[in-house]
Amino acid sequence: MIEIAPSLLSADFTRLSEAISSVADGGATILHVDVMDGHFVPNITIGLPVVRSLRKATKLTIDTHLMIDQPGRYAVEFVKAGADMVSIHIEADAHIHRTLTAIREAGAKAGIAINPGTSLSSIEDSIQYADFVLLMSVNPGFGGQSFIETSIPRLKRLRAMIAEQGLQTRIEIDGGIDEHNIRSVVEAGAEILVAGTAVYGKEDPAAAVRNLIESGSVWV
Ligand code: DX5
Ligand code: ZN
């Protein structure tokens, strides 16, 4: 089963509750929340107070993508604020095992996020401590960028790496996903599809989510 995770980064921040209900109507199950600190990435977005408000407003799974330096300082705080999934970047955390374990112990799913230019071998020994891997298919920092095509062979290699270790780790892909490439990323092994522009950049976000589910579903 694929799951669509609309990224609120491309939503109207003054109308978040509408942004949530529209994608829920379309069949989205996860809300992707991009947290940026202006250090790890060249942009600043939202943080804990907004996650606390989102938690009160929805039963959808809240997926916080922490694009922040030393995420171990804040990861558990995001779980306490109501996040169900918390991902941290391998490039930002020298103590990834400790942080992943802390996220799990706090009661959320722990994810390792990895940038397009970072070798997959850097996460090989940590995947076993994660519930999901978030493979970036753009350089993190902004919505609306083009999908980096080499993400397809990377997805396949990641899928093989997970299978070799006999793990059930899920793969989330983030960046430039739309109705044209969603099928190929699903076929390459992605199960959770983040989409910002392809959802909130459209007139009708609910219809956009429905269309992504339809386009990405591989019927056998
Ligand atoms: C980029 C963020 C993404 C972004 C995706 O740094 O991690 O989640 O919102 O937006 P689109 O789908 O427009 O590439
Ligand atoms: Zn993201």
Model's pTM, two decimal places?
A: 0.98
- Tell me which residues are annotated as active site: 34, 174
Residue 121 CA, ligand 1 centroid: distance in Å: 24
Residue 211 CA, ligand 2 centroid: distance in Å: 20
The whole-number average pLDDT for the span 163-174 is 98
DSSP character string of 163-198: HHTT---EEEEESS--TTTHHHHHHTT--EEEESHH
Residue 187: what pLDDT? 97
- Provide CB contacts within 8 A for 53, sequence distance 6+: 16
Torsion angle of C-alpha atoms 82, 202, 175, 215, degrees rounded to 10:
100
Mutation choice for ligand 1 from 46, 142, 212, CB with most ligand atoms inside 8 A? 142
Q: Closest ligand 1 atom, CA of 65?
A: 7
The answer to whether residue 219 scores a pLDDT higher than 90 is no
Share of the chain above pLDDT 70, in %: 99
Label residue 220 by pLDDT band (50, 70, 90): low
Instruction: Give the residue from 72, 70, 62, 123 showing the smallest Cα distance to 101.
Output: 72
Q: In which region does residue 33 sit, left (phi positive, over 0), alpha (psi from -120 to 50) or beta (all else)?
A: beta
107 lines ligand 1 (CB under 6 A): no
35 lines ligand 1 (CB under 6 A): no
Condensed to tens digits (0 to 9), the pLDDT of residues 1-54 reads: 899 999 999 999 999 999 999 999 999 999 999 999 999 999 999 999 999 999
Condensed to tens digits (0 to 9), the pLDDT of residues 49-84 reads: 999 999 999 999 999 999 999 999 999 999 999 999
Lookup result for tokens 């930002």: 92
Distance separating alpha carbons of residues 128 and 176, to the nearest angstrom: 27
Q: Closest ligand 1 atom, CA of 198?
A: 12
The answer to whether residue 142 scores a pLDDT higher than 80 is yes
The whole-number average pLDDT for the span 92-121 is 98
Residue 218: what pLDDT? 77
